[in-house]
Structure 1
Amino acid sequence: MPNLHLIYDFANESLPQIWLPPVVFFIAGLIVLIYHLNLSKEEDGVHGPFKPIFPGADSKGINTKTKGIVFGALFTLIGCVVPLLLYFSEAKMFQFYQRVCKDKSYQTVQGRITQFHHSNSPYHDTERFYIDGVYFEFNDNTQNRDGYSVGTFKSDPLKQDLFVRICYLDEGKRKVILKLETE
């Protein structure tokens, strides 16, 4: 058996921060909300240093302050709920895979890569291959959210006839690569 080098180990990964971008909604909503809450009745509809987001009253008599407060509260709510949902969803999946790694409750296969197909497009193609009769397939654009993918690396370390050892979790339709070692 060839000397193997560790290429990827999910146990060394940290929780992805995909929940952070929606926090911008929270910050923007909070700024709009605070601004409009501090808007006095005299300033309502008057364009001072900051132009109100909804100038004047509409046909239903709803003024700028009320619209701004509703708009700010809505953005603040969205910016608070969406990141929380994303965080807990990601954290649950991440912790599950970490537990599988810690308990070593995964399957292991080793051998030479056969029937290797390199992905030509990160969005419309998959990388796929066999190792000792076990089929693996994944998109290149899933950057370490759920196991190994080529998007994690600058170049693809996998190729036809390369000897590898893979620790994976079989989830039925797909196999999540948790650890990858190559010669």
Structure 2
Amino acid sequence: MKQFDIIYDFGVLEVIRKSWFLVIPLFLYWLAVYKLRNDEDIEGNLIQNLLSQSKSFENTKIQIIKYASIIIFVFLAILQTIKIYRTYSILNNGLKSIEGYVNDFHGMPSSGHDTERFKVRNVKFEFSDFDLTDFGYNNAKSKGGEIDENAYIRLKYYQSNNRNVILKLEKRK
């Protein structure tokens, strides 16, 4: 009987790892709130009172940044939720499976600017470390990935936009 190590299995940790960008608008919101609070703390200063018109314009800009960051966060969160729902529904409705040796392996260089490509039984797979469009496996060999020429692997995947997305990767011991 063949023994396999699970290298990648789509789940909650992958969702968290590939949703890091949601922190950016939250950080902008926090900066805007912090800036507004600091400006209110020094409002009693005479010089600040003389420059209240320019301060008002600056506060307006900060308010715009604050509300825009909330809108951007909500928009990105909705898009990410749709991707998560879509991936889980694909996962629950069945995936294609394939098992075999990796051939025609083309590793992604450590500098990026390319994709990692390989075939298993003439089924082509391609990914990049820098692609966050889905929740599939995308860890290139040059960045510590496990896929290499002649490795025996078992994959569960689905097809999306003319490419196969790996949701489960197992490698024979």
**TM surpasses 0.5:** yes
Q: Distance in 2 between matches of 1:23 and 1:151?
A: 30
The equivalent of 1:168 in structure 2 is 157
The equivalent of 1:17 in structure 2 is 20
The equivalent of 1:50 in structure 2 is none
**Identical positions, percent:** 21
Q: Any gaps of 5 or more consecutive residues in structure 1?
A: 47-55, 58-62
Do the aligned partners of residues 144 and 86 (structure 1) sit closer, same or farther apart at CA in structure 2, a change above 3 Å counting? closer
| 1:109 aligns to 2:113 (yes or no) | no
**When the two structures are aligned, how many residues end up with a matched partner?**
168
| 1:4 aligns to 2:4 (yes or no) | yes
Q: Distance in 2 between matches of 1:45 and 1:68?
A: 14
Q: CA deviation at 1:154?
A: 5.7
Q: Kindly indicate whether the alpha-carbon contact (under 8 Å) linking 2:98 and 2:156 is maintained by their aligned counterparts in 1.
A: yes
Do the aligned partners of residues 141 and 71 (structure 1) sit closer, same or farther apart at CA in structure 2, a change above 3 Å counting? same
Q: Distance in 2 between matches of 1:120 and 1:150?
A: 12
Give me the TM-score of the superposition, normalised by structure 2: 0.82
Within a 5 Å distance, the mapping from 1:56-135 to structure 2 comes to 56=51, 63-101=53-91, 103-135=92-124
Q: CA deviation at 1:152?
A: 10
Do the aligned partners of residues 17 and 91 (structure 1) sit closer, same or farther apart at CA in structure 2, a change above 3 Å counting? farther
The structure with more radius of gyration: 1
Instruction: Select which of 130, 133, 145 maps to 1:156.
Output: 145
SS in 1 for 2:23: coil
| 1:140 aligns to 2:144 (yes or no) | no
- Partner AA of 1:6 in structure 2: I
Do the aligned partners of residues 4 and 163 (structure 1) sit closer, same or farther apart at CA in structure 2, a change above 3 Å counting? same
Moved more, 163-172 or 16-25: 16-25
- Partner AA of 1:175 in structure 2: N
Q: Kindly indicate whether the alpha-carbon contact (under 8 Å) linking 1:2 and 1:163 is maintained by their aligned counterparts in 2.
A: no
Q: Any gaps of 5 or more consecutive residues in structure 2?
A: none
- Partner AA of 1:125 in structure 2: D
Give me the TM-score of the superposition, normalised by structure 1: 0.78
Moved more, 64-73 or 161-170: 64-73
Q: CA deviation at 1:170?
A: 0.4
SS in 1 for 2:20: coil
Show CA shifts across 1:61-98 (max 9, x none).
xx123112212211101221112211221121022212
